[in-house]
Structure 1
Amino acid sequence: MIMTMHDDEEYLFRALKVGASGYLLKNAYDEEMLEAIRAVYGGGIYIHPSVAPALVREFLTKNEVDEKINSYELLSKREQEILPLIALGYGNKEIAEKLFVSVKTVEAHKTSIMHKLGFEKRTDLVHYAIKKKFD
């Protein structure tokens, strides 16, 4: 299937998600349409060059998020216990009380979590935890 659409990233992503193998803009020339049809018919893909950068950006962003989600497995058991509590808004003292450890221990684990996941700010850690969807 080849889609002819607008120069809008959202249309591109939707088309690809539903199985499009080609993407042209509405104002594509006849030669370009033939090129796209040949490419797709031959088992390949065709993406209009003006929307290709958006596709690459989306791929790289998704890849980065997936890597961080997968890096959750690098966390120790205790770090995996602490992360959802951080996401729920508990402070270091509250987390320490819940887990029967010292505040310094919580701070050390939080620093380790941020290092392992590549975050610099607590807010990044909270956003990550929300995306991870802890129960």
Structure 2
Amino acid sequence: MTIRVLVADDQELVRTGLRMILEAQPGIEVVGEAADGARAVQLAQQLRPDVCLFDIRMPRMDGIEATRRLAGRGVSDPLAIIVITTFDLDEYVYGALKAGARGFLLKDAGPELLVQAIRAAASGDALIAPRVTARLLQQFADLDTSTAPLQPVEALTEREEEVLLTVARGRTNEEIAQELHISLSTVKSHLASLMGKIGARNRVEIAVWAYETKRVGR
């Protein structure tokens, strides 16, 4: 099945480069491009792509608000959105994750990681660039928030706490299985249980919750 992707970035050169990288891969098609957030939301609602690839800083509407409108809490049929950004202590990234982004990458991540992120998002998973997971989330672990993070509806088991920490550190399912000496299906089972207990929709929100509740320290 072909993965249909919408690309939004205010720089034409970046959009062209992303299109070339993605369409060189089997089973991926770029179905639309947008130069600003407002147009990205409009196209996404019209085209219903499998994955949206959004820059954060865009005119008219930034990537955070575009993400919130398409994937935020309360959206009945949220789209899979990946945010691409330049790190540079970019406080907007945290906002994008809270708004419902399924993952994020740095613009220098490289074609291989970009394609992995697209395929992961299309399959219902999420990919956080491993080398920036801790750096980025820890930048915001001590920020005050308007509301305290929700506590689990049921206490986490010891194994779930272990899985939680590995997710927060950017481990893939395969890496978690190897590190904890459990099967891949067991990892997926624990992730599903975690999401149900803490009200997370994907592994990105699991990681954010782990930092907000101080389960992962500096």
Q: TM-score, normalised by structure 1?
A: 0.48
Structure possessing the higher relative contact order (Cα contacts under 8 Å, 6 or more residues apart)? 1
- Give the structure with the larger strand fraction: 2
Q: TM-score, normalised by structure 2?
A: 0.30
- Give the structure with the larger helix fraction: 1
Q: Which has the larger radius of gyration?
A: 1
